[in-house]
Amino acid sequence: MNPFSLQGSTALVTGANAGIGQAIALAMARAGASLICAGRSSSAETVAMIDGARELRLDFADPMAARDVFADTSIDILVNNAGIIRRADAVDFTEADWDAVMDVNLKAVFFTCQAFGKAMLARGGRGAIINIASLLSFQGGIRVPSYTAAKHGVAGLTRLLANEWAASGINVNAIAPGYIATRNTEALRADPERNRAILDRIPAGRWGDPSDIGETAVFLASPAARYIHGAILNVDGGWLAR
């Protein structure tokens, strides 16, 4: 058996309609997994590109939205990718912007992991969780207090869950993407000065492509990563090495 293959697994990817989530779904399908593409918007475009993929509507404005998703299924790979960002100076940051980001980017991640973990532990067998963290799991950023707090939280939760579930055959890890060309970063790329400043600091000399994250997610979900637990893998063109 090819240790990098996902043949015979079923993966649920949140936020699979666009950007990094879509690339992860496509890469996992290429590696042989069956796909459930979850999100608040329709994932029809992604589903149309993957044989046998299914769509699931989940809106993490309710952080418990996935509470019943895993009970009667054999999903063995969970990718918590859905995320939002709100920007304002710290002195002006509102409670609404704090709560919205913490709910989707942190609280929903934990309770989705919990629902998946409960089902996996009851069923037995090998499973994998991949949380999408950020450079702001390590750095402070600016004007994004709830995003930074949530992504630091994702790194911590990834380690905590790995500690609790590693011995039961569940690999819990995270990917910290660098600057990836998605609609999330469109404004940065459209601003020539910001774009140049960002590129100047990336050793690889280019923006990341969503497929760079997709293929890393395949690796972390595969049997090849069986002894990797609690890792936050930077996929950032070398940004954090500077």
Catalytic residue set: 147
Q: Measured from the CB of residue 202, what is the shortest distance to ligand NAP in angstroms? A: 11
Binding site for ligand NAP (CB under 6 A): 14-15, 17-21, 39-41, 58-61, 81-84, 104, 132, 134, 177, 179-180, 182-185
Q: Minimum distance from CB of 102 to ligand NAP (Å)?
A: 12
Q: How far is the CB of 130 from ligand NAP (least distance, A)?
A: 11
> What is the rounded CA–CA span in Å between residue 132 and residue 134?
7
Residues 145, 149, 152, 154, CA torsion sign: negative
Residue 198 CB, nearest distance to ligand NAP (Å)? Answer: 10
Q: Cα-flanking dihedrals φ and ψ of residue 49, to 5°?
A: -90, -5
Nearer to ligand NAP, 108 or 128 (CB): 108
Residue 132 Ramachandran class (φ > 0 left, ψ -120 to 50 alpha, else beta): beta
Rounded to a whole number of angstroms, the minimum distance from the CB of residue 116 to ligand NAP is 16
Three-state secondary structure string covering the chain = CCCCCCCCCEEEEECCCCHHHHHHHHHHHHCCCEEEEEECCCCHHHHHCCCCCEEEECCCCCCCCCCCCCCCCCCCEEEECCCCCCCCCHHHCCHHHHHHHHHHHHHHHHHHHHHHHHHHHHHCCCEEEEEECCHHHCCCCCCCHHHHHHHHHHHHHHHHHHHHHHHHCEEEEEEEECCECCHHHHHHHHCHHHHHHHHHHCCCCCCECHHHHHHHHHHHHCHHHCCCCCCEEEECCCHHHC
Q: How far is the CB of 62 from ligand NAP (least distance, A)?
A: 8
CB closer to ligand NAP out of 196 and 226: 196
